[in-house]
Chains A and B, each alone.
Chain A
Amino acid sequence: MNLKKIDVNINGKDYCLEVEENLRLIDLLRDKLHLTGTKEGCGEGECGACTVIMDGEIVNSCLVLAFQADKCRIITIEGIEDEIIKNSFIEEGAVQCGFCTPGMVLAAKSLLDKNLNPNEEEIREAISGNLCRCTGYNKIVSAIKKAASIKRGGDSE
């Protein structure tokens, strides 16, 4: 297998790595760097458990090859220090089995970085690539609403 050299910034840290051509970004994160907060639920881009932020956009890391991350900035759940979003998830009861949670938090982060006043439809759109099988969507939506409200300087709803 051919190796490719990549320079990638993950959670603010620069890495210079040699990766197999067919290595997926999720495998680089989990198996090589042991950043296991990124989860694999389906391996085909349906469930969003493997969501990471790549140059500001959320992507399914199971559908990105590691070498495609060359010269990119990747943020995984381990790089999210946004306690407002995380606490809102905890307080609203938006965390059940937790396997979708890192992806949900990243989808929420990506939304709120661009739009601090999302309406319900925009929130649902923002997490539409993330499946939760514990059927906790309403609580996840209210957690994101609450986080947005706190970030706007308002009280929690």
Chain B
Amino acid sequence: MNELKIVGKSIKKIDAKDKVDGTAVYPQDIYLENMAFGVTIRSTRPHAYIKVDTKEAEKIDGVIKVFTYKDVPGKNHHGVVLKDHEVFASKKVRRIGDPIAFIVAETKEIAEYAKNFVKVEYEEIPAVFDPEEAMKEESPKVHDRDNVFYHFKIRRGDVERAFLECDVIVENVYKVPMVDHAFLQPEAGVAYLDEDGRVVVIASTQYPHFDQEEIAESLGVNKDMVRVLTPAVGGAFGGREDITVQIHLAIAALTLKRPVKTIYSREESFLAHSKRHAMKMYYKTGALKDGTLLALEAKIIGDSGAYASWAMNVLRKAAVHATGPYYIPNVKVDSFAVYTNNPFTGAMRGFGATQVPIAYEQQIDILAEKLGLTPIEIRLKNCFREGSETSTGQILEGFIPLERCIEELKSF
């Protein structure tokens, strides 16, 4: 066989040299002529009606303009699946951190100073922070609709009858918290008009093509009038899939016809982007005496926070992975995505497949203990092999080396 040129070789990253030299350009490293600086005013309340007064701030020497929802030329919304985010909160804030205004000034110092003069009046309304509470009919509504905005079901075999046949049943509730990506480069960006009058937005993003669409919609222009450039990205892990700086900068650059830059602090970065979904997982798993898994019933509730982001995809994936890599003939899974007034949740490394192992693997260990089997024995008995059928009916073909992987663990 000819030696492969790439596979099996250690390839030097194409931008590694720039990164070790410190010359790789992240958005915060860009300085343009005549560049103004923007800072974002964010909600300090989780659920409230708001009134915003920018007049005093706009009188400050060096403040160019304070943008609010009234200054959005196109649609005041964005969102990767549902357009449920507002570019700037218009009537109501739904979480701590919702953007309300964007102050653009000659310098960062002036913009920061002007923050003290933007008056936001909050009329607080009842908020909900527990997704299970939010599922109740009488609970405060985060949007003008039911808080449960996604329900995914898996039905396979006859779970009720199968549990009657089980020799041992284990029932537990598992909870995992929100997690922040904390990528090392806080969000930053620069926008300006190019020689053809197009809005150019430079931002570290995972989705320049999505951003282009969302920016164009909020500007009320065609997509070809918007360019999104992605320079070096200082980590993302899913946390740069939703809009943060992009639309604010684009509106400011288009309106003011000059370059505008913004850089979030670490604290603002925590407020601005999504989190990993907190999940509460009710698990009931049943097996025969010999360890054969017979039935699984699971209810998985995902806290989507104030916005949907990728919740449908994440909760679907959590449900699809609910059995783990084990064959179970009778399965009933219900997963829900629920709005609350918490930070919004979205993509983060694993996309829902990361949360459920906490539940299904512990269930298997507890079952093994009750049956007098080792954790290895029960897994070898049930793990997916070539030709296994998953709870969604997929027949696994190709290379499924799970058995070998578990066998290898015997020596530890």
A, B bound:
yes
Q: Which residues of A contact B (CB under 8 A)?
A: 30-31, 34-44, 47, 49, 76-78, 80, 86, 89-91, 93, 95-102, 105, 131-134
Q: Which of A31, A90, A99, A131 counts the most B-chain CB atoms under 10 A from its CB? A: A99
Residues of B within 8 A of A34 (CB): 31
CA distance in complex: A131, B233 (Å): 16
The residue that A98 contacts in the complex, of B19, B182, B265, B266, with Cβ under 8 A, is: B19
Residues of A within 8 A of B409 (CB): none
The answer to whether B21 touches A37, judged by C-beta atoms less than 8 angstroms apart, is yes
The answer to whether A36 touches B234, judged by C-beta atoms less than 8 angstroms apart, is no
The answer to whether A93 touches B185, judged by C-beta atoms less than 8 angstroms apart, is no
The answer to whether B234 touches A99, judged by C-beta atoms less than 8 angstroms apart, is yes
Interface 9-mer from B10-18, B42-50, B132-140, B154-162: B10-18
* Nearest CB in chain A to that of B26: its residue: A99
Chain A contact residues: helix, strand, loop or mixed: loop
Residues of B within 8 A of A31 (CB): 31
Q: Which residues of B contact A (CB under 8 A)?
A: 10, 12-13, 15-26, 28-29, 31, 181-186, 232-237, 263, 265-266
Residues of B within 8 A of A105 (CB): 20
Residues of A within 8 A of B184 (CB): 39, 41, 47, 49, 97, 99-100, 131-134
CA distance in complex: A107, B287 (Å): 54
The residue that B19 contacts in the complex, of A35, A41, A95, with Cβ under 8 A, is: A95
* Nearest CB in chain B to that of A27: its residue: B108
The answer to whether A101 touches B20, judged by C-beta atoms less than 8 angstroms apart, is yes
Residues of A within 8 A of B15 (CB): 98
Chain A to chain B: the 8 pairs with minimum beta-carbon distance, closest first: A37-B22, A98-B19, A77-B22, A99-B234, A36-B29, A86-B20, A99-B184, A97-B235
* Minimum distance in angstroms from A144 CB to a CB of chain B: 13
Residues of A within 8 A of B24 (CB): 98
Q: Which of A38, A102, A131, A132 counts the most B-chain CB atoms under 10 A from its CB? A: A102
Residues of B within 8 A of A93 (CB): 10, 13
**A and B contact pairs by CB, cutoff 8 A, 8 listed:** A40-B28, A47-B266, A86-B20, A90-B12, A99-B235, A131-B184, A133-B183, A133-B235
CA distance in complex: A129, B57 (Å): 39
